[in-house]
Amino acid sequence: MKKHKQDIHRITANTRRMIKIIALGLLLTGITAAGICICHDAMYGQAGSGSASSEPAALQPASAESAAGEGVTVADAEFQDLTDAVSSFKETTARTSAAGTTAGLPSDTAQAVISETASAGTRVPVMNGDAPDLTGYIVVIDPGHQLYSNNEQEAMAPAGMGVEGTKEKCSSGTSGVSTKRPEYEVNLEVGLMLCSYLESLGCEVHMTRTTDDVDLSNIDRADIAHSYATDYYIRLHCDGSDNASARGIGVFVTSLGDNASLQTELGDILGNCLAESTGAVFRGTNAGTTYSGLNWTYDIPGCILEMGFMTNPEEDELLSDPAYQQQICAGIADFLATLPQS
Ligand SMILES: [Zn+2]
């Protein structure tokens, strides 16, 4: 387990959009504990014969030290480094996808940049009431699960990636301990709101589904993400736990491919944007190879966003509260504004 404690930095950067950026200190990775997330697709993997990595570690709230720090000015160039790293990632993606190969993401440069920027702090935009301009961005939203789960099996990851075995095509999700609502319904509700909100900011948005009664496997959903020049693929889920007090926002990314560290870096920025916009605890970003739907989009920046726990009565109610849902959408929009466009 590795922890990174970083100082808070505050910058105004991004010559393109003049986005006001703050860099919050954070603990970069999850903390080991018994796995409690029961909803995201990783937790529903069938035994198969896979060599996929162990179950994802449960995430715990970041310590209080991550919420304190002093303002420091960070050079625009450092934010530009992160932007350049993502751009390089995506340019490579387009090339390898067209070639039909799963190999060869030359991320040495990206990794070097991330190593540098990690020491300078992760950048998070300030929620100052100013919605960002997302003109030119392309986002694919995948509201997790569907009305009927599909237990048929499909490959955990593309061939040649070192992850064998299969997993069910679409798992059932969790449900609200207070609202009694199924997760797929809440995921879609937030997804549709997010779609409308992002479009109102100029973003081009594509949904993997707009109704609950669909039959889309994780690979089907990945194929949709691959069919566009996707700047970010966001998979909306709600979490569940046997512990009714478990709460907070979790981000999950694939550790496949040479840009896994970059995926984690982006996940941390997203999580901190959401913590800022909702007031919820960000539990960290967890990278692994058991998230089959993300394995299949390892070459696209993206994540599973666990928006909160439906097994926590208070958070369950919040997740169905339109005002809270809007705060989630605002945090995601602020995160997207930190990404370079295609
Ligand atoms: Zn889920």
- Encode pLDDT of 58-115 as tens digits: 443 333 333 333 222 233 444 455 667 777 766 655 434 433 332 222 233 222 222 2
Residue 79 in any domain: the answer is yes
Average pLDDT estimate for 12-32: 27
User: Using an 8 Å Cβ cutoff, are 40 and 27 in contact?
Assistant: no
Residue 3 in any domain: the answer is no
Average pLDDT estimate for 215-228: 97
Q: Measured in angstroms, how far is the CA atom of residue 68 from the centroid of ligand 1?
A: 32
User: Which DSSP string do the residues of 81-137 spell out, in sequence order?
Assistant: HHHHHHHHHHHHHHHHHHHT-S-----HHHHHHHHHHHHH-EEEE--SS-PPP-TT-
Q: Measured in angstroms, how far is the CA atom of residue 6 from the centroid of ligand 1?
A: 31
Domain with residue 106: its CATH number is 3.40.630.40
Q: Measured in angstroms, how far is the CA atom of residue 232 from the centroid of ligand 1?
A: 19
Residue 29 in any domain: the answer is yes
User: Which DSSP string do the residues of 291-303 spell out, in sequence order?
Assistant: -HHHHTTTTS-EE
Least confident of 43-52, 164-173, 199-208, 314-323: 43-52
- Does the pLDDT at position 302 exceed 70? yes
Q: Measured in angstroms, how far is the CA atom of residue 40 from the centroid of ligand 1?
A: 4
Residue 20 in any domain: the answer is yes
Residue 219 in any domain: the answer is yes
Residue 146 in any domain: the answer is yes
Residue 271 in any domain: the answer is yes
- Does the pLDDT at position 176 exceed 60? yes
b/e map 217-241, b = 16+ CB within 10 Å: bbbbbbebbbebebbbbbbbbbbbb
Average pLDDT estimate for 276-291: 97
Alpha helices in the chain (DSSP H): 76-99, 108-120, 183-200, 218-226, 260-278, 292-295, 313-319, 322-336
Question: For the chain, what is the domain count?
Answer: 1
Residues of the domain holding 78: 9-336
Instruction: Supply 31's token pair.
Output: 């903390």
Alpha-carbon dihedral sign for residues 56, 57, 61, 62? negative
Residue 1 in any domain: the answer is no
